[in-house]
Structure 1
Amino acid sequence: MTPRHAPLAAHGVGSSQDLPLPFDLVLQAGTVAVVLSFLAVTVLWRTPRAGGARRLPAVWDAVLRSRAWRVPLRLVVLAVAGYVVGDALLGPRDATNPAAHALFVWLWVGLVPVSVLLGPVWRGLNPLRTLHAGLCLVLRVPVSGLRPAAAPGGRTGHWPAVAALLAFVWLELVAPDRTDPRLIGTWLTGYAVVQLGCALVRGASWFARGDGFEVYSELAGRLSVLGRDDDGRHVLRSPLAGLTAVDHPRGSTAFVAVWWGSTIFDSASGSPVWAGFVQTTGAPVPVATVALVGVCALVAASLRWTTRRADIALPLVPIAAGYTLAHYASLLVVEGPRGLLLLVQQWGVAPGAEVRVVPDPTVVAVVQVVCIILGHLVGVLAAHDRALRAAPGREHTLVVADELPAVLLMVGYTWAGLFLLFAV
């Protein structure tokens, strides 16, 4: 991050000294929690469990479906997005511009907890979908596209979203002057042009597989207790219900690998050792780019090698979401309100005011540890259930044996996540 936006670099607590327990004890506890949970499910969880869902009362379902609030909210989100992009391109080029906070804090970080709580909200709020609907109306282009995909998932699956997400994390973690409003505005404009162009050709369904942020929200929303049944009715469900669904577009595992790998890279790149190494190379951007792609590829390869299954993406979602919440917990609490203040101050509201949110380091440290361990525990449960579904009638001990490499990998990533958060 550039000096004028230095607070945006403060993602985590930053030191094992903030932990209320010895760091080695935390590592051991995380390992024991993952292993014991696996042993418990192998004994108690011998058949797939669909995870019951209960429909909401009709009145609440009608409220959630109502266009009376959905349409105005979409227009508000579109207006805010348009203002942020315009301000990034034409507004002040200093720390008073809220563009970096809007993109890196509100959207990238805030979308995970909101989606985990409320479901895939970005699908209904996506300003690109609103713009696409307007363009189709003006240009008289079918909403289904000029050349609709033959199948809802298309032959490409989530691979376009993988490319979109990789482009974003490169901007966030590697690009020089990445908090420069002009760079952010240019990137967002280019991203919108590409997405809208593809949607005009392939139809509105493109966003569900090509927009990195919508796929990001959709996967995180799998953990929400608020979902929909096959008839489209809103239901209350177990968080595991969304992780045991049979739908699995191509590229989903790669998407989770980029999501997870980029967060790991962000943690590792904050160490003095990495900073010193990159500067000595004389080519920090190419080196960091190769390292970012390499970490994401390593995560993807380790997942496929240990599981040897293509449908492992959904059980990995709670792990990726947990690590994201742990890594960016303090950033969201500290910089989220500050970004909102910067936005309203441009409208003449509360001039000269400051927001100083200083979370207790011990509280943040505990939240980070809980998020990582809880994410892995839910991942173990989801992976075990999917393994049972994939091999109906197979001997239980053989199913468990096939899961052991994945469990060992989860233990390793638990250690890595805790180490990178508190020891680097």
Structure 2
Amino acid sequence: MKPKRLSPLYKALPLLLPAQADAHASEQGLVLLLPTDVYTGAGVAAVAATVVLLAFAPAGLMTRLFATVRLWRARPGLLPVLTSCLSFLFLLVVVTAGFLGPRDPLANPLPLTVWTIFWIGMVTVQGLLGDVWRWVNPWSGPLAVLHRAFGAWPVYRVRGAWPGALTFLAFMGFLLADPAPSDPDRLAALVSVYWLATFVASCIFGPRWLRRGEGLTLSLTAFARLGMFGRRGGRMRAGLPGWQIATRGAGPGLALISVLLLGCGSFDGVNETFWWLTRLGLNPLEFPGRSFIVVQNLLGLVLANLLLVAVLALTLWPGLRLARSDMSLMRAFALFAPSMLPIALGYHVAHYLTSFMVDGQYALVALSDPFLTGADLLGLGQFYVSTGFFNTTDTVRRIFLTQAGAVVAGHVLAVLVAHAIAIRAFGSHRRAALSQAPLAAFMIAYTLFGLWLLSSPRF
């Protein structure tokens, strides 16, 4: 059977987009032709203006802004169990394709499913809409079937969210430091072992393990708190993204994973820049390969998260003093760290947008013919993978403005959410504004940092 015909640019992709095979965002040297400093200045000014306006806003603005609309009554049912089991069967198919399918990461459906459909697409949908992961989690359905067949769960308890935080860090370490995270055989083996280990742990500790011990579910559950749709009082509700964080209390687990999501996401951008390679004493134009910087990237990942925790604590402490509050720093950290989630999501969307635009097309082709047998399961016909949107200044400008807009929108929303939390915590608009001054300055500086990352040359 004649293979699907791709664009003539396909053979040039390894040169034009060297990070594609590593499941990273496409290189962004083209944006250097744009007046990025103008866009960066405008973005920082927008966040700064939001901070100033909130200081003089009416006291009841946050209550009205994060008000929700009641929707239908939320009732537990068997449908999520069914969809989860189907998701598990789909995972079996793509893992099998990882072992038996084509060796090219851009033709094998497993790397494209894990890094493009899940890590880019699912995380984005989860953060924008709400808890979609509940329906496609590949563990909850099989666990529910096992529970129905054999009875009650064990009584062992999971204390804290640190197991999930560690597994999430391990996931990010594999993504950022492994020499070949998209190698089909390597990834298929890892996914198989990880699914089985998580399933066994869930059998020992019960379904609570998924929410506290499994890093991907922990991170996706955190992003779900950012979505427009959520459950409260037995009903589905809809509101401005972030309403669940702004109006609900938060615990240490949510605070910890929120900081890790931002820290890991930020380092995911830093470690691709020329700046990072020059810090390591390497010439970016003669990059020796990821295998030469495995240890450096792992250390950088850990240090980035420790630095973010330290900086966040240093901005919260003077805020508590300005507000004349006796709240402990740990309590303040648990309250305000989740307000970093909009920043993490905004940068996630911006960082991976170009990768999704290209790799999403390859994912469709791979899923339509996972074993290169000539099948056309999705009915794509003569589908062409196109990268033409990188070839003109107009389309590149639109892409960059979309990325910059995502970063700025995330920071603006973070400022609003943090201010709403402060009003709830300190009781008055004045004390809330005083407490947020150092944190707001940090968010403005982080806006500049995020937009700088977008416009920095990458290898």
Query: Paired residues, what number?
Result: 406
Task: Using the TM superposition, give the Cα deviation of residue 45 of structure 1 relative to its aligned residue in structure 2, in angstroms.
Answer: 4.2
CA shift in 2, pair 1:373/1:79, >3 Å: same
Q: What secondary structure is seen at the aligned counterpart in 1 of 2:452? A: helix
CA shift in 2, pair 1:121/1:372, >3 Å: same
CA shift in 2, pair 1:242/1:114, >3 Å: same
CA shift in 2, pair 1:108/1:77, >3 Å: same
What is aligned with 1:422? 455
CA shift in 2, pair 1:279/1:89, >3 Å: farther
Task: Using the TM superposition, give the Cα deviation of residue 384 of structure 1 relative to its aligned residue in structure 2, in angstroms.
Answer: 0.6
Q: 2:48 and 2:121 mapped to 1: Cα distance? A: 31
1:314-325 to structure 2, matched below 5 A, reads: 314-325=338-349
1:401 matched to 2:434: yes
What is aligned with 2:375? 349
Query: Is this contact kept in 2: 1:256–1:317, CA < 8 A?
Result: yes
1:101 matched to 2:115: no
Task: Using the TM superposition, give the Cα deviation of residue 373 of structure 1 relative to its aligned residue in structure 2, in angstroms.
Answer: 0.6
* CA distances 1:212-245 after superposition (whole Å, capped 9, x unpaired): 22222222222322222212x2222232321224
Q: 1:53 and 1:352 mapped to 2: Cα distance? A: 46
CA shift in 2, pair 1:14/1:125, >3 Å: same
What is aligned with 1:217? 220
1:237-386 to structure 2, matched below 5 A, reads: 237-275=239-277, 278=280, 284-308=293-317, 309-310=332-333, 311-346=335-370, 348-350=374-376, 354-359=384-389, 360-386=395-421
CA shift in 2, pair 1:54/1:320, >3 Å: same
* CA distances 1:293-312 after superposition (whole Å, capped 9, x unpaired): 11122112212221242211
Task: Using the TM superposition, give the Cα deviation of residue 141 of structure 1 relative to its aligned residue in structure 2, in angstroms.
Answer: 5.0
Q: 1:84 and 1:49 mapped to 2: Cα distance? A: 46
Q: Answer with 217-226 or 37-46: which moved more.
A: 217-226
Q: What secondary structure is seen at the aligned counterpart in 2 of 1:109? A: helix
Q: 2:19 and 2:405 mapped to 1: Cα distance? A: 32
CA shift in 2, pair 1:355/1:423, >3 Å: same
Task: Using the TM superposition, give the Cα deviation of residue 420 of structure 1 relative to its aligned residue in structure 2, in angstroms.
Answer: 0.9
Q: 2:97 and 2:72 mapped to 1: Cα distance? A: 43
Q: Answer with 295-304 or 83-92: which moved more.
A: 83-92
Structure 2 residue runs without a partner (length 5+): 1-13, 283-287, 318-331, 390-394
Q: What secondary structure is seen at the aligned counterpart in 2 of 1:321? A: helix
* CA distances 1:358-408 after superposition (whole Å, capped 9, x unpaired): 432111101111101111001001101111111125xx4443222111111
Q: 1:358 and 1:317 mapped to 2: Cα distance? A: 33
What is aligned with 2:91? 81
Q: 1:207 and 1:7 mapped to 2: Cα distance? A: 27
Q: What secondary structure is seen at the aligned counterpart in 1 of 2:219? A: helix
CA shift in 2, pair 1:92/1:423, >3 Å: closer
Query: Is this contact kept in 2: 1:146–1:203, CA < 8 A?
Result: yes
**1:335 partner amino acid:** D
Task: Using the TM superposition, give the Cα deviation of residue 249 of structure 1 relative to its aligned residue in structure 2, in angstroms.
Answer: 2.8
What is aligned with 1:387? 422
What is aligned with 1:230? 233
Q: What secondary structure is seen at the aligned counterpart in 1 of 2:120? A: coil
**1:129 partner amino acid:** S
Q: Answer with 260-269 or 10-19: which moved more.
A: 10-19
CA shift in 2, pair 1:34/1:356, >3 Å: same
What is aligned with 2:194? 191
Q: Answer with 398-407 or 7-16: which moved more.
A: 7-16
Per the normalisation by structure 2, the TM-score is 0.80
Query: Is this contact kept in 2: 1:10–1:331, CA < 8 A?
Result: yes
CA shift in 2, pair 1:272/1:36, >3 Å: closer
What is the aligned counterpart of 1:172 among 170, 175, 190? Answer: 175
Per the normalisation by structure 1, the TM-score is 0.87
Q: 1:115 and 1:18 mapped to 2: Cα distance? A: 33
Query: Is this contact kept in 1: 2:347–2:407, CA < 8 A?
Result: yes
CA shift in 2, pair 1:116/1:272, >3 Å: closer
**2:126 partner amino acid:** S
* CA distances 1:311-337 after superposition (whole Å, capped 9, x unpaired): 112211111101110111111121112
What is aligned with 2:154? 146
Q: 1:57 and 1:190 mapped to 2: Cα distance? A: 39
Q: Answer with 399-408 or 346-355: which moved more.
A: 346-355
Query: Is this contact kept in 2: 1:13–1:364, CA < 8 A?
Result: no
Q: Answer with 109-118 or 86-95: which moved more.
A: 86-95
Q: 2:230 and 2:176 mapped to 1: Cα distance? A: 33
What is aligned with 2:24? 9
CA shift in 2, pair 1:70/1:253, >3 Å: closer
Q: Answer with 171-180 or 44-53: which moved more.
A: 44-53
RMSD in angstroms over aligned alpha carbons?
2.8
Q: 2:387 and 2:32 mapped to 1: Cα distance? A: 20
Task: Using the TM superposition, give the Cα deviation of residue 11 of structure 1 relative to its aligned residue in structure 2, in angstroms.
Answer: 3.8
Q: 1:127 and 1:279 mapped to 2: Cα distance? A: 43
